[in-house]
Structure 1
Amino acid sequence: MSESKPVLPPEWNDPDLPEWTDEMFDTAEYAVAGKVIRPATGYLGPNGVVRGRPPARDRAKQQVTLRLDPDVLERFRADGPGWQSRINEALRKVVGL
């Protein structure tokens, strides 16, 4: 006897939604009446692409508020995206890390 796939609600019958693969069903969370029966084993997006930020290496960065002189901030922003990471790298060099 073959195992049947879950039936999606009619409101999900949208032609723009990707067709679910067996792998997507295997990794998805399974819940009944709001109670999780089987937790998700990972995120797998359309076409097998994992989205989002990569997991933190050894420890997550902390968000802080820092006041900088306008000319310093302008100089780092002038090089484009990634200016916050460049400031972090500069600070690590100064403190010897």
Structure 2
Amino acid sequence: MGKASGTDWKRLAKTGDAQIDTSDVPELGDDFFERAELHVPPKQAVTMRLDADVLSWFKEQGAGYQTRINKLLRAYMLAQQRRRS
């Protein structure tokens, strides 16, 4: 199993926005957003054989099932890369 983060997620979930100290984080101004660039990794179309029940389950979750499959594959890839380094 992975290492625990040590974050108190239950306490954090109950914390309101007004209670969060952002004094050490400057606000991003209009200048930042005018210069900001969106970088999206390129996609490549592939043909892939999946078990019918697996594909059905993803499709039942609604639109964006291919994106969800990609996110899961990416999470697995990153986890394997971390294990190997």
TM-score above 0.5: no
TM range (shorter): 0.3 to 0.5
What is the TM-score of this pair, normalised by structure 2? 0.44
Report the structure, 1 or 2, having the larger helix content: 2
Report the structure, 1 or 2, having the larger strand content: 1
What is the TM-score of this pair, normalised by structure 1? 0.39
Q: Is the radius of gyration larger for structure 1 or structure 2?
A: 1
Q: Which has the higher contact order (CA 8 A, sep 6+)?
A: 1
